Structure 1
């Protein structure tokens, strides 16, 4: 059965309980494989069998509970190439028209564009199948509506709150004069204002009550709605029906001010929360903004400027100096240097020439070039990064599981506590005070408990920190696969480093070129020897041969034509030049042709972790090239930083003991495992884990794949241009080892923020709910006014989001 994955925006959620409700409802439906709803991002990730159920059918179900999918912004991850393979080019060519499908019941959903310019079908879609500007505009429009309501209600809420404070002060201090406003006039004024506030500003809360009655589902809006409506109805009875009030022996006290101030403060808090949540997603927005809007392509000999969505595979794209590269491809003409910092985090521009790969979203330097488009739309590296970041931001850390369990029962439990508090006040309170006073306190407790309880703070504690943390990582060249990887990374105490390409450059270089027993030690003679050796080695495909040819190119030496070239498998090569036969290879080749060499020199070279290439001619040894994979310039300093974080470093290498230990000593790594084959690296990780260590492994992600998978956290070091970025828990795009301590610090900072958020969210509810219920009244005479409960509730959510936003400004260096 074919399964489909989709990420969909959800409307109508107000707290973590809403997310739990949607999950619970959808998981009961046939064909749903997995569903995760994230309150912080307001999105749902769903995996489903499309032959059993469709997105519109899911939407109809959750609509009954007061929520709705934003199907206009629905996203289908992955390439659409497979959907077009059935299209065949006809004699007239394809027309320049949109192709539509009714996939999942969406009529006229644009999926591709047929390019008339090249007579071939091409994928036409944005980076991640979603219009970022449209999402942002929709959220900003919603925010403006909220702000308009805030501007109406907040002045009244503040004025009424100030009046309440004055009344309290005047009642407790004879020096504070009381306001001389007729009680009846002030009561009618508050009735009018509270009616407007409740039935206009408080619509979401009234809707929460309606959903509770209709579907037996409750959320934060339900709690606030029941509390404020209870206060409003009681106050209306007291003010409008004085005879009924007297008959029931109710005190001549109303709570319209509670309705006004609570709704005003909470709505203002929701506005601040929405504005802050919008800021948590800025990383995705910045990544999307890297995409070029247009591209200059060469079609039928003409330069055309087209929207980037209309590019097709194999288009020839022209990039001018300072221009933004629109998609991924390979340079076919020209040279330049490219700033890849915005994608890989690498600050130094990278030189590019014909045959090199370029990445969409990067900035061209002073040169101009043409390249062939090889990856477009959702297949580009930038699109993969955005998709991975978005999925990671929507994922859940293991620490969230406890919060999810609490959130799923939080609202019903709070409703129960509120009712119990009211009953206890009526039953027990009337034993110690008049019934009307006990009823008044009971009502205040009932309303206070409903209003102060805040599932939002709990629901936002983890995801907001994950969103900011993952986004910050992406902007610094760190791709984090999911929240679980981020949580695990902060627990690691051992880091295993693969040698090649991780702490070394991953490319053999000639470190020394030593003339052997030569009377002529001039630079000219040395250059001539290197020139002949490189001319011989240019015919070989061995990596060491490439290092020698590169050394000659570095010195601008001209390569000569070699005759009668022959390769000796596992030993070396030979060839003729000007009537002389030259040989280049290892000791086995030298022994075969009876060339003498110094064992002392050989030992010295190999002890330093270098590989010797002997160069002989005319029956004698001419020179020795010492070749090594050198340490990266910053490896030693970075390893010291990682050790300073309290992490044990282990070096893993397939090299011989001398080479591995020499590299280890250069990098100041004491623990070195040598001669470890790729298939045995995972076993070494297991051995470390068996001793109780939490192990992270950093490697190139190719022959290290089993070890990366075995490690608690796998860190893939990549160049950022040709990598399967989903193959590791964390991918370092620039291949820069200095990003490893940054990733560790980011993980620790994020988890510290989550713990702070959860601590305050739990403490707030643990203290606030009993306080509002009147538990401390018999001891200290303290009973929390619902107005202060509303203020505290609004503050709790805002404080959690604000604390998470602090992550954006923390430094990833120590």
Structure 2
């Protein structure tokens, strides 16, 4: 609505301005003299008033009926006064020089432009996600008993197996059941790097398999998918209120009364001074230029652009208050498992006895575990696959057997290889060799799981398995501390495990052995010290803590993306995205303050000058000058808000 009215009103405004007597006097040119020239501005100005000004007139009437004066009523009052005053001058009624046609036209055009910009920003986040949804394939390759069948995506159901070819998009949320590939998830997480996904891991609708084909078991379709959840979150964010918006609404109401009272006082003052002509001119000028549409855009436009920028960067703001509070946060409390760590076992160290290379140890253990589906086995197999020297051995396992509660065994390279924990050693009556005992004791002291590798009845090495710290966690912690924000970590793990991770990352405070239902009490403990807390968790066990904190941030794509307990959802699993919220919150606040100072400063100065307070000194703000300043203030506020788009929110910008 605002876009179409803006362009049509702009076209009509050009001749209105060019044929305006007041504008011609300002610029210094002579108006063309031909039949009907005098009626161009009044006629086209009237069209602009009723067509371009319709949204503001309707909004003003609505606010008047509800007895809740606001921005629309202010705008309606300004253009109505300009319209009536201009027709009085055009018809020669009285001795007034109130040719406001050009100002009326520019006022309506600028108002429409400002509101179009605001509406466009408000819709950009949802629009970007709508465009993302449009990228979903219309068809999917469904795996059936008869082979591969191409079916509409809408016909897929939970449990179906689909083939995602290299370069194709995932048609629905699901788990990989066969194959591995690098996935481009930038459209969901905002992260540019591809992510490796293998069997057992979740993939999200809309992401792209960049190098290999995989088979995916569908787990969510339609409204239950991550994309649908993201769109709901953005809709909630756009509908949510905030203190800043409430402030703008109250300011608009106060400014309506300010303009009205200023106009009445101006009229009375000039009448008492014996100048009825100036009384009318000054009053009309005050009412016209007191319209603070710059103030009306100062806060909402900043919030709208901030929400949009956040959404495009994978930071989904459910409640705008969360964005406003983020700049005041004193401490960020991270849940450990799945947030600072990957939430799964990984081999973080290996130690071999004399005569056995570490790569050979990994190769033997990986081959022995290759037929096991246990998460620990997959971690060992992955560690062997990631080590080029281990891969070079080319070992293959045969005769695999699982020993419940003890470990596994298989024949590898002509030897019997067993991998297991303390129960395996007790069964085989083996003790840790002296050259391994130091490392093993250190690993156990930090709470790590230790598995021994046995070849033909003799221990040849040990593996340390832990929940691996995310590569991004170091940079996230350091960047927060560099910004003056403390970092705390909370976990249900044993203290030695928690303190090992905390020491590794340089975290300020660690809460360990905390049950899920007690996490919110730790948030309350931090708050009791006068700290404002942002809680970052996976949203499953952390809901009470997320709700209690000043800002609750849920991390991770998938079903958790639609959680109700958090004010913010990070679509990806990168803890550095918390920095994007802090940086955006602080930048948004600066823009709000700058815009408020500019917009209110204009009104505070312009209205008294327009009323003629300094007329005795020969300083009077003419209607033309007032209109120009009013237009400039709006443009400055709008352009200043647009500068938020230049902020880099890519997590990759934050490095150690």
TM-score, normalising length from structure 1? 0.68
Q: Does 1:295 align with 2:138?
A: yes
Q: Which moves more between the two structures, 484-493 or 457-466?
A: 457-466
User: What is the number of residues matched between the two proteins?
Assistant: 627
Judge conservation of contact 1:538–1:549 (CA < 8 Å) in 2: no
Whether 2:629 is the aligned partner of 1:792: answer yes
User: Per-residue displacement from partner, 1:734-782 (whole Å, max 9, x unpaired)?
Assistant: 211222212210111112112222222222222222222223334x333
Partner of 2:448: 610
Q: Residue 662 and residue 214 in structure 1: after superposition, are their counterparts in 2 closer, same or farther (change >3 A)?
A: closer
Deviation string for 1:355-392 (max 9, x for gaps)?
54332232342444565554344332122212212321
Give the root-mean-square deviation of aligned CA atoms.
Answer: 3.8
| Mapped pair 1:149 → 2:9 | yes
Whether 2:476 is the aligned partner of 1:628: answer no
Q: Output the CA distance in 2 between the equivalents of 1:639 and 1:690.
A: 23
- How many angstroms does 1:562 deviate by? 5.0
Q: Could you tell me whether the CA contact under 8 Å between 1:457 and 1:796 is conserved in 2? A: yes
Residue 164 (structure 1) shift: 1.9
Which of residues 506, 509, 514 in structure 2 aligns to 1:668? Answer: 506
Out of 235, 254, 274, the residue aligned to residue 97 of structure 2 is 254
Partner of 1:680 in structure 2? 518
Going from structure 1 to structure 2, the CA distance change for 1:600 and 1:639 (only over 3 Å counts) comes to same
* Alpha-carbon distance between aligned partners in 1 of 2:61 and 2:302, rounded to the nearest angstrom: 34
1:379 to 199, 221, 224: 224
Secondary structure of the structure 2 residue equivalent to 1:511: strand
Alpha-carbon contact 2:140-2:171 (below 8 Å) kept: no
Map of 1:547 onto structure 2: 379
- For 2:129 and 2:555, the matched residues in 1 are separated by 21
Deviations 1:281-314 (A, max 9, x none): 33332322222365224689785575x6676766
- Per-residue deviation, 1:261: 1.5
- Cα distance in 1 for residues equivalent to 2:497 and 2:337: 12
| Separation (CA, whole Å) in 2 of partners of 1:473 and 1:605 | 41
Native 8 Å contact 1:534 1:552 kept in 2? no
Asked whether the 8 Å contact 2:60–2:74 carries over to 1, the reply is no
In 1, Cα distance between the equivalents of 2:56 and 2:416? 93
Change (3 A) 1:616 1:147: closer
Do the aligned residues in 2 keep the contact of 1:394 with 1:463 (CA within 8 Å)?
no
For residues 378 and 405 of structure 1, do their structure 2 counterparts lie closer, same or farther at Cα, with a shift above 3 Å needed? same
Q: Say if 2:398 is the partner of 1:538.
A: no
Question: Which residue is equivalent to 1:172?
Answer: none
How do residues 40-51 of structure 1 correspond to structure 2 at under 5 angstroms? none
In structure 2, the partner of 1:469 is 306
Question: What does residue 273 of structure 2 align with?
Answer: 429
Query: Which of 242, 248, 261 is the aligned partner of 1:403?
Result: 248
What is the alpha-carbon distance in structure 1 between the residues aligned to residue 243 and residue 510 of structure 2? 33
In structure 2, how many angstroms separate the alpha carbons of the residues matched to 1:214 and 1:614? 77
How much has 1:483 moved relative to structure 2?
A: 0.9
How many angstroms does 1:689 deviate by?
A: 0.8
Give the conservation status (yes or no) of the 8 Å contact 1:154–1:265: no
Hey, what does 2:293 align to over in structure 1? Answer: 456
In 1: Cα distance, 2:542 partner to 2:59 partner: 53
What is the TM-score normalised by the length of structure 2?
0.83
* Equivalent residue for 1:163, pick from 24, 40, 46: 24
User: Does the alignment pair 1:494 with 2:348?
Assistant: no
Q: Assess, with a 3 A threshold, how the Cα gap between structure 1 residues 350 and 485 changes in structure 2: closer, same or farther.
A: same
- Cα distance between partner residues in 1 of 2:141 and 2:365: 44
Unaligned 5+ segments in structure 2 are none
1:584 aligns with 2:420: yes
Moved more, 590-599 or 218-227: 590-599
Q: What's the offset of the Cα at 1:618?
A: 7.8
Structure 1 residue 526 corresponds to structure 2 residue 387 = no
Query: Contact 1:393 / 1:463 at 8 angstroms: preserved in 2?
Result: no
More helix by share: 2
SS in 1 for 2:356: coil
Tell which deviates more after alignment, 711-720 or 673-682: 673-682
Partner of 2:47: 200
Distance 1:232 1:725 in 2: 56
**Distance in 2 separating the partners of 1:650 and 1:214:** 50
Matched, 1:224 2:78: yes
Deviations 1:165-197 (A, max 9, x none): 267xxxxxxxxxx96x89xx899854x234313
| Shift, 1:235, TM fit | 1.7
**In 2, distance between residues paired with 1:773 and 1:346?**
55
Aligned to 1:81: none
Q: Is the CA contact (8 Å cut-off) linking 2:302 and 2:591 kept in structure 1?
A: yes
What pairs with 1:702-781 in structure 2 (closer than 5 Å)?
A: 702-720=540-558, 723-778=561-616, 780-781=617-618
Q: Distance in 2 between matches of 1:195 and 1:692?
A: 63
In structure 2, the residue matched to 1:692 is 530
Please report how far the alpha carbon of residue 480 of structure 1 lies from its aligned counterpart in structure 2 after TM superposition: 1.5
Report the Cα offset of residue 581 of structure 1: 11
Deviation of 1:323 after TM superposition, in Å, equals: 3.4
Structure 1 match to 2:109: 268
Please tell me whether the aligned partners of residues 342 and 469 of structure 2 are also in contact (alpha carbons under 8 angstroms): yes
Partner Cα distance (1:377, 1:582) in 2: 46
Is 1:444 the counterpart of 2:281 in the alignment?
Answer: yes
- After TM superposition, the structure 1 = structure 2 runs for residues 83-232 of structure 1, keeping only pairs within 5 Å, are 139=1, 143-158=3-18, 160=20, 161-165=22-26, 189-190=37-38, 192-203=39-50, 205=53, 216-217=64-65, 219-232=73-86
1:507 is paired with a residue whose SS is strand
Aligned with residue 359 of structure 1, among 204, 210, 229 = 204
DSSP-derived class of the 2:629 partner: helix
Separation of aligned partners in 2, 1:566 and 1:221? 77
Q: Is the 8 A contact 1:143 1:271 kept in 2?
A: yes
Distance 1:388 1:600 in 2: 51
- 1:210, CA displacement in angstroms? 8.5
Cα deviation for residue 476 of structure 1 reads 1.1
Equivalent residue, structure 1, for 2:347 = 510
SS in 2 for 1:613: strand
**Cα contact 2:259–2:290 (8 A) shared by 1:** yes
Q: Which residue of 2 aligns with 1:285?
A: 127
CA shift at 1:487, angstroms? 0.6
**Structure 2 counterpart SS, 1:630:** strand
Deviations 1:562-604 (A, max 9, x none): 558332xxxx457798998968324x77568764335644432
Distance change in 2, residues 1:408/1:378 (3 Å): farther
Query: Are residues 189 and 784 of structure 1, via their aligned partners in 2, closer, same or farther at CA, if it must alter by over 3 Å?
Result: farther
Q: Tell me the secondary structure at the aligned position of residue 97 of structure 2.
A: coil
Measured in 2, the distance between the counterparts of 1:546 and 1:314 equals 24
Cα separation, 2, equivalents of 1:474 and 1:805: 16
Find the residue that maps to 1:254 and give its secondary structure.
coil
Whether contact under 8 Å (2:398, 2:410) holds in the other structure is no
